[in-house]
Amino acid sequence: MEQEIQFLEIAKLIAKEVNKSIALEEKKDLENWIKESIENQNIYNEIKREKWFTENLESIKLYDIEEGWDFIRYRLKSTSKIRKLIPQVLKYAAVVILFIGLGYFFKSKVFNNIYATPEIANVSIIEPGSNKATLTLGDGSQVALEKGDSFHTKNANSNGEEIIYKIVETSSIECEYNYLTIPRGGQFFIKLADGTQVWLNSESQLKYPIAFNDTQTRQVELVYGEAYFDVSPSTNHKGMKFKVLNGSQEVEVLGTEFNIKAYKNETNVYTTLVEGKVVVTNELSKQNLVPNQQAVFDKKANNITISQIEVADEISWKKGLFSFHNKNLKDVMDVMARWYDIEVVFKNKELETIQFVGVLDKQQNIEEILSILKSTSINNYEIKNRTILLE
């Protein structure tokens, strides 16, 4: 029964997640459980893709999460054919029934048959991404930053996995700028000279001063890519605000945490607020964000729209996870391509629009990711060198 009790608790968290009533600590517990094994990841993904669940989602949301627990406990004792009960229960408690059934299913021999990896042609080992970057100094010289290598200047220190600038402010008008460029298959952390912390995702570039003028707005530029900012409060810097520029958009903050995604091959720029308050501005509009809101800047239409979102999904990459909620498979594979430094080809173009829901561990090998997709979204796949063919 201990295993059943664990499934009950995890299923309850999944029910809360879908109902958008899950607390931050509960979300962390769920993410930790998902990361424990590929079996857990597959169970999670299987629950999210059940046909009955999709068809009855709106009806299910009308019911209280706590309803039906006594009924479920009774059924656990009286039958092992748990999955047959699902069509009879339009409550979130039904998630538990499905979950227990899947737990037994995935831990059986059937699991090995379904998720057997297909033959891989001309294979080369495709490793997950790692901490690495290229630092471009003010004189144009470049330094490779990677695990095992150290780098030091009078302003900064790096152990190859992060770079920390000395906290300093200056009244000098002239200011030297550095660039930190993250390649495909990379990520990196930087602490700026004002104490602001920045996590940079794959295929990103940040331009920043090596010291901040204490009489001017603190300003950096996300040239392209994705970055999570934890900004040092303006109260620590004589009231000076902090701005992040990107193309024709700018984000102004006083001291807060937020995420910006602005990849070169995407038509939208996404600004997601986690804590505090920011103002997103372009030449035509100015929008205030509050926590759990996202501003979407359409570069073609030159307008900004605001929506409520699930923040945990947007910033999961920073915590070592990929969390997707009804994302097109094309968008999912764009993320995979950047992290694993691969090319993805859809042999069947109809697959690009398939909706995917799931949480993936960034340290999984690509074959495990593709096996999950085969169980949920695609018919087959093939790996040729660093190209993934999906059909």
- 335-347: pLDDT as tens digits: 999 999 999 999 9
Q: Taking 70 as the threshold, does the pLDDT of residue 53 lie above it? A: no
Identity of the residue numbered 116: A
What is the band of 356 on the pLDDT scale with cuts at 50, 70, 90?
confident
Mean pLDDT, range 12-17, rounded to an integer: 70
Range scoring the smallest mean pLDDT among 171-175, 215-219, 382-386: 171-175
pLDDT of residue 67: 40
pLDDT of residue 172: 66
CATH fold of the domain at 130-314: Jelly Rolls (2.60.120)
Q: Taking 50 as the threshold, does the pLDDT of residue 86 lie above it? A: no
8 Å CB contact between 207 and 176: no
Domain ranges of the chain: 2-114, 130-314, 320-390
pLDDT of residue 365: 85
pLDDT tens track for 96-151: 444 433 333 333 333 333 334 444 444 457 889 999 999 999 999 999 999 888 99
Whole-model pTM over 0.75: no
Q: How far apart are CA 388 and CA 18, in angstroms?
A: 31
Q: pLDDT exceeding 70 applies to what percent of the chain?
A: 74
Range scoring the smallest mean pLDDT among 50-54, 224-228, 241-245, 323-327: 50-54
- CATH number among 3.55.50.30, 3.30.499.10, 3.40.50.2000, 3.20.20.140, domain 320-390: 3.55.50.30
pLDDT tens track for 263-297: 998 999 999 999 999 999 988 889 999 999 999 99
Identity of the residue numbered 356: F
What is the band of 73 on the pLDDT scale with cuts at 50, 70, 90?
very low
